[in-house]
Structure 1
Amino acid sequence: MKKTNYNKPSYIMLTTAMVAILITTSSTSFVHGFNVIDKCWRRDPNWRSHRQQLAKCSVGYSGKMTNNIGVGDELIKYKVTDTSDDPLNPKPGTLRYAMTHIQGKIWVTFERNMNIRLQKPLLVSSFTTIDGRGVEVHIADGACLMLQRVTNVIIHGIKIHNCKAQTASTVLGPDKKIVNVGPVDGDAIRMLTSYKIWIDHNTLYDCEDGLIDVTRGSTNITISNNWFRTQNKVMLLGHDDGFLRDKNMKVTVAFNYFGPNCNQRMPRIRHGYAHVVNNVYKGWGSYAIGGSMNPSIKSQANYFFAKGGRNEVTWKQESGEVEGNFQSVKDVFANGACFNGSGSGRDAVRPNYTPEQAFPVEDGHKVKELTKNAGVLKCPTSSTC
């Protein structure tokens, strides 16, 4: 399914001098059609030989993921060659074997195009990068990914869809430990009590429950460059109304493409803080951004394209009083979209990024260009990605 390019740019002839002036005075990411993350690695024609450069490209609350690289022989490179899955006795060469038997920092790639049907939830280990670039990898039609009490995880370039609810089960987890997993609802990626996670350039759709859950005290998360489509509940940030530890949750949602056919939770947040910035929203049903339990949400320079007529972006849980601080800063609203802000003002919702987390925010009118390659990238054999 192809994403819509709303306004194709018109081109004019430029002299060499004019081009030089344009490049030096305009935003570099816009000139190249790359956002700040992509321009860090995608222009390198030898990116396959420099895969670990990706870890230096993250922005937002995850910060740089350089802990995933290691020094010298510290990083283990593992290639998935087998699509089978055994939750308790995984074969060498399978994705589950990498998560259960390989200790330390691991960078996972895939030998060829693959369809992996997980029999039970896959518990991703700490200091793991799952890198699907260069091939087409589907995790689909079964259980999906769970990040439980882990840190320093990158998930990049995977199509995750049609995830199914699972009954309680026993699986082999990291460090070959037996883990009892309770019932799961059918999410593509579920995070519980996890820290410093980067979810980038994945395509996620059509799961039984949601696409991404950030719950039970998880924080320092960046969700970027993903394509979310054909889903009722898209992204949940915060476990439930009574889980107060989620007050410390901080999540960056940047450069993603939502739609078509997404209904709600893009994201829906409880208690914590979300910086929702430079995303495209191609319509929504119930709402686009919502929350309860007094969250803080800064919606900045997003492009909201409604289905037509007056279409409210936000939803707040009814409680007889203002529920949270919802601020819109330089968003672009089209085709009837509108934003109902609330709370104590813009200063209260600054992301307060550290220097390694900070990144330039693009003009909302440029975001369609900067998200046109959201989701899994098609990377030719011998060129830039």
Structure 2
Amino acid sequence: MAYQVSNFIPWCFVLAVVSITIFTPKVCFANKQSKIESLVKNQIDQCWRFNPEWRKHRSQLATCSVGYAGKMTNNIGKDLIHYKVIDPSDDPINPKIGTLRYGASKVQGKVWITFQRDMHIRLEKPLLISSFTTIDGRGVNVHIADNACLMIFKATDVIIHGLRIHHCRPQAPGMVIGPNGKVMSLGQVDGDAIRLVTTSKIWIDHNTLYDCQDDLLDVTRGSTNVTISNNWFREQNKVMLLGHDDGYMRDKDMKVTVVYNYFGPNCYQRMPRIRHGYAHVANNLYMGWVQYAIGGSMGPSLKSESNLFIAPMSEHKEVTWRKNSDGTEDKWEFYSVGDAFENGAFFIETQGGQVQKPNYNLEQNFKVVDAKCVRSLTMLSGVLRCSKSSIC
């Protein structure tokens, strides 16, 4: 068989603890801080990247997420299926064993997907990912590009890590194997890199996304408990949409954490744009924008905390934007706490009231570091280059 069941073997955190003790600096200097010090400040990465034998304990990653996704421990356990992609081809209805679609849509249960070698995968139709699935691209160079891309549809407990996703194109309606392994009819798809539709407990980490026809990442139709971390978003007009449309009231319950991401160069807008729900946006680097960085409509709430906003050379220095579909200004609750602003950037926040807290539980909580550390904190965002002889 192309996949097998194996037990999860936890890794001791002693090395990480020792590394934190030795390498944690008292002050962050963006032009001097080493990569290892950046790992210490990044709570997600320090959980697994200090282990030189991470390949033997890949599923340790599931315990490292923070923010609203919480720990992804539902993705691991004694019944975990390890599936290796050996074939880059794609059949949207009858996928072959060994292809990505077979592992992500056909295999049911807890599935941890890895790749045998570097691959360029051109999907014929959007890949619908089943619940309790992890796609782990660490250690190889995997591109999903030049046609259809990824969709998480009515699923929960999904991890997407270490993929390059780009040049995604709109797709006409058609038949495709669904997340339950059964063929279903799928409507028009706009050309997003990753689209979440009616999902919960989703973690998107250390991916590089760029140059797609629509957005790079959409969180829509009642999706919630999502963490978007350590990604590199670049070369894109519309980057990230949180909330389906003005009339979709279920998105009032949406909760999203956006942390340790690098936006730029050449990102125009939607980093993110929020409708209805709540987002905690922390420790991200914004390397300019064209229209705006963070926008909202339909009364969303946002806490922007310890981000670094570097304004473009153009006249658009304002970080924020708020408009309804009819062009009128919207009522929102946007707060800036500890953000840093360069090149004339400025943030218009809600006057009066109190800063809405994320209200994380213990497993979701993480420490937000000073904005002066953001350059070094995000220097390793996007797909990691992992050598065989050292830490990733």
TM-score (norm 1): 0.91
Deviation at 1:310, TM superposition (A): 5.9
SS in 1 for 2:348: coil
State whether structure 2 residue 50 is matched by structure 1 residue 49. Answer: no
State whether structure 2 residue 80 is matched by structure 1 residue 75. Answer: yes
State whether structure 2 residue 385 is matched by structure 1 residue 381. Answer: no
Are the structure 2 counterparts of residues 146 and 343 from structure 1 closer, same or farther at C-alpha, using a change threshold of 3 Å? farther
Aligned equivalents of 2:24 and 2:269: distance in 1?
39
AA in 2 matched with 1:158:
L
Could you report, residue by residue, the CA deviation over 1:286-324 in whole angstroms, capped at 9, with x for unpaired residues?
Answer: 000000000001110000011135600000005655521
Are the structure 2 counterparts of residues 20 and 121 from structure 1 closer, same or farther at C-alpha, using a change threshold of 3 Å? closer
Pick aligned residue for 2:142 from 115, 137, 141: 137
AA in 1 matched with 2:303:
K
State whether structure 2 residue 360 is matched by structure 1 residue 342. Answer: no
AA in 1 matched with 2:334:
F
Contact 2:108 2:181 in 1 (8 A): no
Cross-structure match for 1:191: 196
Deviation at 1:346, TM superposition (A): 3.6
Aligned equivalents of 1:313 and 1:218: distance in 2?
26
Aligned equivalents of 2:289 and 2:25: distance in 1?
38
AA in 1 matched with 2:349:
G
Pick aligned residue for 1:168 from 173, 187, 196: 173
Deviation at 1:281, TM superposition (A): 0.2
Pick aligned residue for 1:217 from 216, 219, 222: 222
Could you report, residue by residue, the CA deviation over 1:146-199 in whole angstroms, capped at 9, with x for unpaired residues?
Answer: 101100000000000000000001101233211111100000000000000000
State whether structure 2 residue 257 is matched by structure 1 residue 252. Answer: yes
Could you report, residue by residue, the CA deviation over 1:274-293 in whole angstroms, capped at 9, with x for unpaired residues?
Answer: 00000000000000000000
Cross-structure match for 2:302: 297
Name which of structure 1's ranges 311-320 and 138-147 shifts more when overlaid on structure 2.
311-320
Listed as ranges, the matches of 1:267-286 within 5 Å are 267-286=272-291
Listed as ranges, the matches of 1:285-364 within 5 Å are 285-308=290-313, 311-317=317-323, 320=328, 322-342=330-350, 344-347=352-355, 349-364=356-371
TM-score (norm 2): 0.89
Unaligned runs of 5+ in 1: 1-18
Are the structure 2 counterparts of residues 83 and 293 from structure 1 closer, same or farther at C-alpha, using a change threshold of 3 Å? same
Unaligned runs of 5+ in 2: 1-19
Contact 2:74 2:132 in 1 (8 A): yes
Task: Report the count of equivalent residues.
Answer: 364
Are the structure 2 counterparts of residues 305 and 26 from structure 1 closer, same or farther at C-alpha, using a change threshold of 3 Å? closer
Question: Please, what is the CA RMSD of the aligned residues?
Answer: 1.9
Aligned equivalents of 2:354 and 2:264: distance in 1?
28
What is the identity percentage for the equivalent residue pairs of Structure 1 and Structure 2?
62
Could you report, residue by residue, the CA deviation over 1:124-165 in whole angstroms, capped at 9, with x for unpaired residues?
Answer: 000000000000000000100010110000000000000000
Deviation at 1:23, TM superposition (A): 4.0
Cross-structure match for 2:12: none
Contact 1:260 1:282 in 2 (8 A): yes
AA in 2 matched with 1:277:
A
Contact 2:298 2:330 in 1 (8 A): no
Cross-structure match for 1:112: 117
Are the structure 2 counterparts of residues 282 and 24 from structure 1 closer, same or farther at C-alpha, using a change threshold of 3 Å? closer
SS in 2 for 1:365: helix
Are the structure 2 counterparts of residues 94 and 356 from structure 1 closer, same or farther at C-alpha, using a change threshold of 3 Å? same
Aligned equivalents of 2:35 and 2:299: distance in 1?
35
Contact 1:327 1:345 in 2 (8 A): no
